[in-house]
Amino acid sequence: MTSFLRSREAILAAAILALLVLISSRFPAFVEPGNLARVFTDTSPLILLALGQTVVILTRCIDLSVAANLALTGMVCAMLNAAYPGVPVAVILILALGMGAVMGMINGLMVWKLKIPPIVVTLGTMTIYRGLIFVLSGGAWVNAHEMSAAFTGFPRVDILGLPVLAWIAILVTGLFFLGIARTPLGRAFYAVGGNPHAAVYTGIDVGRTQFMAFTISGMLAGLTGYLWVARYSVAYVDIAGGFELEVVAACVIGGISIAGGAGTILGTLLGALFLGIVKNALPVVDISPFWQLAISGTAIIVAVAFNSRSGRSKGRIILKRAEGHA
């Protein structure tokens, strides 16, 4: 228990709490349950993408293509709905998951089979996926009136006081907790990032594990693509532009080590919530949204400084009598 209180998750949770107290002192309505639920719902896309990004970063990779993947999948879903309004939402969900997964697999295959550095691969696919949206749509928007009510209504369906979008984020977070703690693949993510050479000699296929991480990340980006377009009832070339950096920021603030192999799902969840609260609170307390960028940036640097401080080596135990004390 004491070790948990000293963990970075606890510190981040305390920071979020302090932030809420501070905001409520100026604007008490912000912390009312109804508003907190709204903030959570608004943060759900970030949580979904950050969870996918977490497994990618754990394996010493990075996925910069998530926002472009989201936008492309969202556009395809919206155009499908506009052309064939009768296609049920279940089919659209499967399409979104599948399309996202395929785009993730493309990233993963290039990292696995061609050994191209992940940052290069995903920088390339980010541009390609974004460009494909323009090719498909011709630069045109798909607007609310072209979408069916079922299509735009799904993420907003209310279940026990929370919209489906929030429930999906909760469900996926739960699956990640389980998957990371209780499946061989979850363990492999940490082993591959923590010591790739040892992982190879342990019989873990490093490339395949990274491929799986990209596939998961892509699948979640695709799913979020549909949810995003439906929620905002609009699809255009630039949706979620630059969102990939916010996603990486959520992971880093949550304590996922960019060097791979370290971090927790709880950390990512808290990191995303922290950014979500900052983003939603600033307009409320009448601070320019541009401050949000400065605050996010500061949070990233503080988080990384914290990481490198805790990771600093304590020196080697050389003297016999020092053994056991360290």
Partner 1 sequence: MQVSLTTPPVAHVTADAAPVLRLEGITKTFPGVKALDGVTLELYPGQVTALVGENGAGKSTIVKTLTGIYQPDGGTISLGGAPVHFATAQDATAAGITAIHQETVLFDELSVAENIFIGHAPRTRFGLIDWPKMRRDAQEILSRIDADLDPDMPLRELGIASKHLVAIARALSVDARVVIMDEPTAALSHKEIEELYELVERMRAEGRAILFISHKFDEIFRIADRYTVFRDGQHVGSGLISEVDEAELVRLMVGRSVDQIFPQRAHNIGDEVLKVVGYAHPTEFDEINFTLRRGEILGFYGLVGAGRSELMQALFGVTKPSKGAVRIDGQVRVIRSPAEAVENGIVYVPEDRGRQGAVIGLPIFQNVTLPSLAQTSRHGFLRLSEEFALAREYTERLDLRAAALDQDVGTLSGGNQQKVVIAKWLATKPKVIILDEPTKGIDIGSKAAVHGFMAELAAQGLSVIMVSSEIPEVLGMSDRVIVMREGLIAAELEGEALTPENLVRHAAGIGARP
Residues in the site for partner 1, rule: CB under 8 A? 181-184, 187, 190-191, 194-195, 197-205, 261-262, 314-320, 322-323, 325-326
Minimum Å gap between C-beta 221 and partner 1 is 24
Nearer to partner 1, 285 or 317 (CB): 317
3-state SS of 71-109?
HHHHHHHHHHHHHCCCCCHHHHHHHHHHHHHHHHHHHHH
Least separation in angstroms between CB 262 and partner 1: 5
- Tokens representing 52 are 């996918």
- H-state helical runs in 158-263: 164-182, 184-194, 196-201, 206-232, 243-253
Q: How far is the CB of 204 from partner 1 (least distance, A)?
A: 7
Give min distance, CB of 321 to partner 1, in A: 8
Which residue lies nearer to partner 1 by CB, 159 or 319?
319
Shortest Cβ distance from residue 22 to partner 1 (Å)? 34
Identify whether the C-beta of residue 238 lies closer than 8 Å to the C-beta of residue 124: no
For partner 1, the closer CB: 160 or 319: 319
> Residue 159 is inside which H or E element, if any?
strand 158-159
Nearest to partner 1 of 114, 319 (CB atom): 319
Pick between residue 8 and residue 130 the one whose CB is nearest to partner 1: 8
With CA atoms as reference, report the closest residue to 80 among 65, 93, 62, 69: 93
Token pair 């919530």 is found at 273
Of the candidates 7, 60, 5, 8, the residue with the CA atom closest to the CA atom of residue 271: 8
Rank residues 201 and 290 by Cβ distance to partner 1 and give the closer one: 201
Work out how close the CB of 20 gets to partner 1 at its nearest, in angstroms, rounded to a whole number: 31
* Residue 94 Cβ vs partner 1, minimum distance, rounded to whole Å: 22
Q: Between 26 and 182, whose beta carbon lies closer to partner 1? A: 182
Rounded Cα distance, 138 and 99, in Å? 20
- Helix, strand or coil for residue 255? coil
243, 66 Cβ separation under 8 angstroms: yes
Q: How far apart are CA 37 and CA 204, in angstroms?
A: 41
In sequence order, the 6+-apart residues with CB closer than 8 A to the CB of 12 are: 253, 254, 255, 267, 270, 271, 274
